[in-house]
Amino acid sequence: MRYLVTGGNGFIGSHVVDQLLTTGKEVVVIDKITNQKNAYSRQVRYAARQLFMDMSDPNLMEKAIQKDDVIVHLAAQSHVDVSFNNPVETTISNVVGAHSLLAASVKCGVSKVIIMSTDEVYGSTDRLIDENCLKPANPYSASKAAADMIVNAYKGMYTELPIITLRSNNIAGPRQFIRNIIPRFSVLGLLGRHFTLHGDGSARRRYLWVGDAVEAICTLALRASQSKTYHIGTEEAFTNLEIAEKIGGYLQLENYISYEPDRLVNDSIYPSGSKDMEQDFGWQVTRKLDDFLPETIEWYREHLDDFAHYFQP
């Protein structure tokens, strides 16, 4: 059985591929390489078969997928700021890409599909009340919610095919691209540059250790047998200002925070909930942010040359 991982050279994808290869699985990666991925993906490129392609082309997807494949769909344009600047491209990537994959999966007769979604589809709320009540508030979350609607339709049309949706809090750890707050501020701090916060920095986010996220994804790929929506996340939440202060404090910086106008829309917080994963598979959060933040910052110190050029004046 093959495991086909879309976005397998990215942050989460490369960790998932590592885990699957470690357990002896045959892995194929589909990736468009839109983030100019760096050194962290090189080991994946050499260890797994690579298909560099645009997932929005259904004809290419049919050629890439084989009967009985397990599909792990992680590829996405996943950053909110990018989605404000390129909303249509975000929709094409996240909605058309997911639909193309599902259509090809059905036609080719795959054995299972895992779809990575996000807590942002619920909009600005601290509580998960109804998994079907989606209130996205920016182009990124809207595109993921639209993709989830297509996924739900396919779950209803093709009941014999397990299609599993996984909605997660923010995922953090080594290898993440520098658009996200933790790698961005880590690299800026290591370069002695200012951290710039949106608005007053009061928006709160939850951060899940990438190792815990990978464990959930691989568990679903190996063990899930029926269509369902699952959630993974952590209860603890931090403001963006608190994240800046944690990184700045670790690096012993002074006078390093500045501010800029807030996003057009900036949700205050997203919900957390992992009971379904705990009940069905025994999955649990194993590490809190304060446990893994230092080693994450140190990873960026070790790989600073891969990222420093993004911040040249």
Residue 46's pLDDT is 62
Query: Global pTM?
Result: 0.94
Out of 120, 148, 212, 267, which one is annotated catalytic?
Answer: 120
Residue 39's pLDDT is 45
Out of 31, 119, 215, 267, which one is annotated catalytic?
Answer: 119
* pLDDT for residue 40 is more than 70: no
If pLDDT is split at 50, 70 and 90, which confidence band does 129 have?
Answer: confident
Mean pLDDT of 259-282: 91
Distances (CA, A) of 309 to 11, 178, 185: 19, 11, 14
* pLDDT for residue 36 is more than 70: no
Active site residue 140: yes
Cα–chain center distance at 227: 20
* pLDDT for residue 121 is more than 90: yes
Active site residue 259: no
* pLDDT for residue 308 is more than 50: yes
Active site residue 245: no
Classify domain 2-171+208-232 at the CATH topology level. Rossmann fold (3.40.50)
Out of 122, 140, 230, 270, which one is annotated catalytic?
Answer: 140
Lowest mean pLDDT among 51-65, 76-90, 103-117, 260-274: 76-90
Mean pLDDT of 223-229: 97
Mean pLDDT of 2-22: 94
- pLDDT averaged over every residue in the chain: 92
Mean pLDDT of 278-303: 97
If pLDDT is split at 50, 70 and 90, which confidence band does 42 have?
Answer: low
The yes or no reply on domain 177-204+236-270+289-311 and CATH 3.30.70.260 is: no
Cα–chain center distance at 258: 27
Indicate where the chain has its CATH 3.90.25.10 domain(s): 177-204+236-270+289-311
Mean pLDDT of 295-309: 95
Separation CA 115–CA 153 (nearest Å): 13
- Considering only residues 87 and 251, tell me which one the structure prediction assigns the higher pLDDT: 251
Mean pLDDT of 110-119: 97
